[in-house]
Structure 1
């Protein structure tokens, strides 16, 4: 804007000077006309021929003509330069307010200029703001590379532009988009949002490969939810967060309870940080037994947090929260250190099992961190079992191989947890070596009444025997389940029937078979140390 102002100021100054010069020229001409100026000048030159005044006047005239030509060329160059600067500034302004990849307006445009656009498009303030987030984009980016990920984002932008032809579409960064269109009735808005999800999740052809992502949408509507675009975008984002927590490819409309939920979550996050600083999150231990003999073989460390304000908070809540805010590594290291210290007081034949968060598998030094904890506590590596879920392996298989190799070289056992619920289970078994496989509790819960589930459990047990890998069944809650698993040849089991998670002070009594077991007030969650 300053460049334009300077240019306009320059044009005004040149115009003023041109008027002054023109006026002066006119005055001189009038005086010369009425005073016979030319005739007098001619007579003077003739009478003073020896002064060579005619040649001097000719030189001055030629110099004047040359000066006018030079001035004209400079004015032309100045005009061309000014136009080039205006074009360059226009391009710079476009770049500042648009995403270079998708050509959509960006977050800066949304914050600084979108309100004017919305008021122009929707003068009656009757519009809906959609916050859109892709699910699984990072996995696609890892599989087909950044160029493929960029192509997917471009196709997504094109689909959104087609879906909102009379509205506005923004790319806010990463795989986040925002779209604005005229308000519909609640029923039509719900239906339209589901159509947007269906369109975005349809397969895309990228580099001769099919790629699919999920999408979640949260939306807020003017004027009932708010009249300011900035506020509506924040409310739509709250609705999006609620939709993502509900599941994949979900749609949610904003309601006032979401603001209270976000406020409560922020408070819990703050208390979680304080709890980590004060080491208030402690491990409870759930026993794993040999189904054939009934003897306890191991305890799995499960994170438990008793908050002074809300009481026991579910691990499903605070562990996912720790993952979201980047505290999962600190949480796991704290719990692993305490669990290893506790395990050194158990009989030497009792193992300690610790579950790792998938978010931790991106750390190439993870194995070294765990080995360092063993060195600090003095727990023998052979007594530690690290449980890794299938979903933790899919992001970077080569990195997973490195971590597992480091652990097994140190003598630590590695367990494939929640088998059958992730991706490419048999592929993982062929690429990686595991000491144990844990059958997910979702199979154990219904395998007696469901022939397909029974066949799956039977096949996994047989697969373990064929590969020389020990099988553990999770979620055993009644005697008939345990007896059926024994008959199938499953070696180990854990669940509420065998024992709930208990604090360290009750472990020795439980091993001795005396004393009451404290009820695990965190319900049926079996979330691990991380």
Structure 2
């Protein structure tokens, strides 16, 4: 017998005992009336007049009836107490099933039904239902820095503050780890009233949370939507639909800088649908090997000689055509596919460049996500071994944002790569958070000036002071410089006046696929035979991946 059957059996036994006890009590009352009617008069007469004593059998029967009545009364009281306790237990179980244990808010299971009940009540009064999706900003960081106990305190405190900021007839639901949904009445055509209330909620929730040892800063981002009785397509809207819309708006609030609110708009759903389709297509594209390397020339601006190429990622999609990395790289990073995508591209690029002239370098950009992987250096070195590409001809480009995220891990990876002869460039210098101390302690081999600064050289000379400062810094640190975005002879002439450096940009040609790149190299006599490549590679130190 399983547990459910066992409970059912025990419940049936208890019911049978209750029926038996009730039957005994009724029988005892009937017998008491019968025996008492005979035995009691005899006992009273014997006591008052000295008459004959009552019959012993009747006396025993009367005493037994009295005992049975006492038993029945006690069992009746036990039944009443048991019913009260059972009702209280059922109430507690229902409360536990419907409430979040930490914050006391409704939970995901009971929240939608409560929101729907509120919507129906408001509809009878001609009012709209406003639904908010509230998410704590950087809550994982709070847990990581202060511990989960403090994180729980922050959640419970924010839950109470939100409840305090809401009208009396409102619903608050904890739908996820750090997500809340609030629903309340909003007067029709009164967006300003709703905005003011939401602003007050943000201010209330964002006050520091005091703990025993410290003060924790917590902010929230809020998405707002409402049921509009004037819209035909909202007459049958469900709580789940409203929560979904508020959730979409909340993510737009986060994109705009967090600690703010954003209203839902219909086009957001189209954007989300496109984003979901894009994610699915990127996953399929990685599996189908649709990403291809393009190559942008890097030229010595003084001599005009070709010095190497930077590998740029392109998506040769059957559906979208040739897609720019500005579109798919951020998405690939968010869905954790950038490492696999990048490794496949690097393998292709290393194989493409293995028979270039020994004077030509290959530059490859590395995502900040990849530099969080402590095994990245070993993976890259393994690619060099598999493709036979000389490490001295490879240059890895790291953006300044990588240094800001985890400088100790980056230092370890950079050191491992440098020990194998790979060169390291600091990409997009001037756009991030690097400091002079990081430039001195990290073994960079090159600095790259961001194209946004170089392009300003052609517009009334703006940005010249910054470019000159970067070039001067590079000279003082003995770091060669590469300028991106060389698109005109005017920019080239100015850069030439600053001294030796490399340049890349549309002035030297647009990025090209492997076929066009090999044709260019062949025309310049910069392709080596496989035999020459093999001999040259044997002269280089072997790469160790152990």
- Please give the TM-score of this superposition, normalised by the length of structure 2: 0.76
1:497 alignment partner, SS class: helix
Q: Which residue of 2 aligns with 1:496?
A: 506
| Cα drift, residue 341 of structure 1 | 1.0
The answer to whether residue 393 in structure 2 is matched with residue 391 in structure 1 is no
Q: Distance in 2 between matches of 1:304 and 1:24?
A: 93
| Cα drift, residue 301 of structure 1 | 1.5
Q: Distance in 2 between matches of 1:143 and 1:299?
A: 43
Q: Which residue of 2 aligns with 1:348?
A: 358
Pair 238,391 (structure 1): closer, same or farther in 2 beyond 3 Å: same
Q: Distance in 1 between matches of 2:30 and 2:77?
A: 27
Q: Which residue of 2 aligns with 1:31?
A: 34
Q: 1:111-144: per-residue Cα shift (whole Å, max 9, x none)?
A: 5654335545665561122234455445565555
Correspondence 1:359-370 to 2 at 5 A: 359-370=369-380
The answer to whether residue 344 in structure 2 is matched with residue 334 in structure 1 is yes
Q: Distance in 1 between matches of 2:510 and 2:453?
A: 19
2:351 alignment partner, SS class: helix
Correspondence 1:72-221 to 2 at 5 A: 82=86, 85-86=89-90, 89=93, 92-93=96-97, 97-98=99-100, 100=102, 102-111=103-112, 113-119=114-120, 124=125, 126-138=128-140, 153-154=155-156, 156-166=158-168, 167-183=170-186, 185=189, 187-188=191-192, 191-192=195-196, 195=199, 199=203, 204=208, 208=214, 211=217, 215=221, 217-221=223-227
Q: Distance in 2 between matches of 1:14 and 1:117?
A: 45
Unaligned segments of structure 1, at least 5 residues: 516-530
Question: Which has the larger displacement, 157-166 or 66-75?
Answer: 66-75
Q: Which residue of 1 aligns with 2:332?
A: 322
1:268 to 273, 278, 282: 278
Pair 211,412 (structure 1): closer, same or farther in 2 beyond 3 Å: farther
Paired residues of 2:163 and 2:172 also in contact (CA < 8 A): yes
Q: Which residue of 2 aligns with 1:403?
A: 413
Pair 115,214 (structure 1): closer, same or farther in 2 beyond 3 Å: closer
| Cα drift, residue 406 of structure 1 | 2.6
| Cα drift, residue 507 of structure 1 | 1.4
2:110 alignment partner, SS class: helix
Paired residues of 1:218 and 1:243 also in contact (CA < 8 A): no
Q: Distance in 2 between matches of 1:197 and 1:485?
A: 53
Pair 160,217 (structure 1): closer, same or farther in 2 beyond 3 Å: same
| Cα drift, residue 421 of structure 1 | 2.6
Pair 25,181 (structure 1): closer, same or farther in 2 beyond 3 Å: same
1:459 to 452, 469, 481: 469
2:447 alignment partner, SS class: strand
Q: Which residue of 1 aligns with 2:532?
A: none
Flag the structure with more relative contact order, 1 or 2, with Cα contacts below 8 A and sequence separation at least 6: 1
1:510 alignment partner, SS class: helix
Q: Which residue of 2 aligns with 1:525?
A: none
2:175 alignment partner, SS class: strand
Pair 371,153 (structure 1): closer, same or farther in 2 beyond 3 Å: farther
Q: 1:151-178: per-residue Cα shift (whole Å, max 9, x none)?
A: 5545544554444344333333344333
Pair 153,286 (structure 1): closer, same or farther in 2 beyond 3 Å: farther
Alignment coverage as a number of residue pairs: 507
Q: 1:305-330: per-residue Cα shift (whole Å, max 9, x none)?
A: 13222222332222222223232222
| Cα drift, residue 494 of structure 1 | 2.2
Correspondence 1:211-360 to 2 at 5 A: 211=217, 215=221, 217-223=223-229, 224=231, 226=234, 227-244=237-254, 251-360=261-370
| Cα drift, residue 344 of structure 1 | 0.7
The answer to whether residue 390 in structure 2 is matched with residue 380 in structure 1 is yes
| Cα drift, residue 276 of structure 1 | 1.7
Q: Which residue of 1 aligns with 2:480?
A: 470
Pair 410,190 (structure 1): closer, same or farther in 2 beyond 3 Å: farther
Correspondence 1:444-455 to 2 at 5 A: 444-446=454-456, 453-455=463-465
Q: Distance in 1 between matches of 2:204 and 2:174?
A: 14
Q: Distance in 2 between matches of 1:55 and 1:25?
A: 14
- Please give the TM-score of this superposition, normalised by the length of structure 1: 0.78
Paired residues of 2:29 and 2:69 also in contact (CA < 8 A): no
2:297 alignment partner, SS class: strand
| Cα drift, residue 340 of structure 1 | 1.1
| Cα drift, residue 375 of structure 1 | 1.5
The answer to whether residue 506 in structure 2 is matched with residue 505 in structure 1 is no
Q: 1:80-112: per-residue Cα shift (whole Å, max 9, x none)?
A: 964774576356335xx3162x44434333356
Pair 15,431 (structure 1): closer, same or farther in 2 beyond 3 Å: farther
Pair 279,47 (structure 1): closer, same or farther in 2 beyond 3 Å: closer
Q: 1:413-435: per-residue Cα shift (whole Å, max 9, x none)?
A: 22222233333544543553322
